[in-house]
Structure 1
Amino acid sequence: MWAQHELILRPYPRGFHLITREVVQALPQLPEVRAGLLHVFIQHTSASLSLNENASPDVRRDFERYFNHVVPQNWPGWEHTLEGPDDMPAHIKASLLGHSVMLPVRAGRLALGTWQGIYLGEHRDRGGPRRLLLTLQGEPLPPAPPGTR
């Protein structure tokens, strides 16, 4: 079984945001998959995807502080500055973190660890809506026996 959906996320402020719920809600076939994989790909060069802790907002704030320290916005060496001071640092952060995550699916659910969630890394001050391509593949659950639904 294969299914593919486009998910357009609302604009998020700069920072790291949990989007696991939005991804799951965009996949009506997910409950039908016994075992499989979900590939989540962001179609942008200044935002990223990552998998990390889903409980403490401190972790997401620390991610933002760390990446702003490592890839400073006003570094004098940037050449690509026509699109604003946050653009080139956003490209670097997106390349460091990546543009996709591959997640296991088991028994109709994402098989994430207890404290894992999907992060959107929004690296622009005004990145706007972000487009994700969700590709689900897997073995379907067996049909329910007659009279059990």
Structure 2
Amino acid sequence: MLRQHLDRLELTTTGEGFHDLTSRLGTCLAATGLQLGVLHLSVLHTSCSLTINENADPRVLQDLAAYLQAVVPEEGVRPISGAGPLRPWVHDDEGADDMPAHIRTALTASSLSLSFERGRLLLGTWQAIYLWEHRRRPHRRQLSAHWIGS
């Protein structure tokens, strides 16, 4: 019989960077009693995102962060050709990292769907699920974990 369960998770970030959610989600899955199905995970904010990525070598996460910072710098944007003046971000209500965080979220993902089997998330050997904080200062983040299965 198909069942559903909805969890609301809270996480306090320490600022910009990656926060591994894998074991916490595994604990939530175990509490549902579900064995086979799908998790739909959503972050309920517009300045952080979700990613599934390498969990063995922290340099992967460092390189990902450096790449996205280079693509979306805090000081503003130039024409793609590189020629022309710098256009500072207009939306900076919460600081210089405000608009870049929104763009970084738009370029990544605010939700993920993952399968689970035998009460375990189906992830590759070196994969983990991360909340990717795009803001410099700590934030309280909320996530929705919608479990559907049997």
Q: Deviations over 1:14-39 (max 9, x none)?
A: 01232211222233435x32320001
TM-score by length of structure 2 reads 0.86
Distance 1:106 1:28 in 2: 11
Q: Quick one: percent identity of the two aligned structures?
A: 42
The answer on 1:128 being equivalent to 2:139 is yes
1:101 to 112, 122, 129: 112
Identify unmatched segments of 5+ residues in structure 1: 140-149
The range that moved more, 84-93 or 126-135, is 126-135
Instruction: Give TM-score, length-normalised by structure 1.
Output: 0.86
For structure 2, list consecutive stretches of 5 or more residues without a partner in the other structure.
Answer: 77-86
Aligned mate of 1:12, from 3, 6, 14: 14
Local SS of the residue matching 1:69? helix
Give the deviation of 1:126 after TM superposition.
1.4
Which residue is 1:43 aligned to?
44
Matching residue within 87, 94, 105 for 2:98? 87
Paired with 1:12 and 1:19, the residues of 2 have a C-alpha distance of: 14
**Pairwise CA RMSD:** 1.4
Secondary structure of the corresponding residue to residue 27 of structure 1 = helix
Q: Which residue of 1 aligns with 2:70?
A: 69
Runs of 4+, deviation exceeding 4 Å: none
Contact 2:4 2:148 in 1 (8 A): yes
Structure 1 residue 12, shift from structure 2 partner = 2.6
Between the aligned partners of 1:27 and 1:105, the Cα distance in structure 2 is: 9
Matches of 1:54 and 1:19 in 2, distance apart?
A: 11
